[in-house]
Structure 1
Amino acid sequence: MSAALTAATNLAAVDVQIVGNLGTIGYGLAAIGPGIGVGIVWAAYIQSTARQPESAGLTRTYAFLGFAVSEALALLGFVVPFILQTTPS
């Protein structure tokens, strides 16, 4: 009976490590999209400012708004796996 309990404990430890590794991979994949999004937002801002320099003040506001929304998605990708993580009992 003790050997079965030890085997179950070792299996639970392996499961926690697997879930941790999958969470790390998941966050890495979740950070790709917002990284691309931030690049697109700032590229569009630079291009619009180069075409019409007098509108730089107005478009800067929208650029920071787009940046904030993209970064919020990255933070959600970081936090949600911790919220959904189940603890072994």
Structure 2
Amino acid sequence: MIMVGKLIGAGAASIALGGAAVGIGVIFGSLLIGISRNPSLRRELFQMAILGFALTEAMGLFALMMALILLYAF
């Protein structure tokens, strides 16, 4: 019964990985739209996109870490 709870908790924590993937897609899609509208801001937009990518990826890694902790730490 405890293993079932661990698997359900890890699965629920893994849903955030999909959200991180969607977030990264939105960030770079918006970067392409922004660059196509105003190419002179390419450097600034790219820097902001990389910052957004790093923060979004960090949240995905935290979710993965929580899923692994739920599976193997207890």
Which bin holds the TM-score, normalised by the shorter protein?
0.7 to 0.9
Deviations 1:28-82 (A, max 9, x none): 3111211111111001100010011111111100000000011011011011240
**Under a length normalisation based on structure 1, what TM-score does the superposition of the two structures give?**
0.68
Q: Which residue of 2 aligns with 1:15?
A: 2
Deviations 1:4-51 (A, max 9, x none): xxxxxxxxxx523x2442244124311121111111100110001001
Say how many residue pairs are matched. Answer: 73
**1:53 matched to 2:16:** no
Distance 1:54 1:86 in 2: 50
Q: Which residue of 2 aligns with 1:6?
A: none
**1:67 matched to 2:67:** no
Distance 2:10 2:54 in 1: 23
**1:29 matched to 2:29:** no
Which runs of at least 4 in structure 1 moved beyond 3 Å after TM superposition?
none
Name which one, 1 or 2, has greater alpha-carbon Rg: 1
**1:40 matched to 2:26:** yes
RMSD across aligned positions (CA): 2.2
Q: Which residue of 2 aligns with 1:76?
A: 62
Give me the identity figure in percent.
21
Give the gaps of 5 or more residues in structure 1. Answer: 1-13
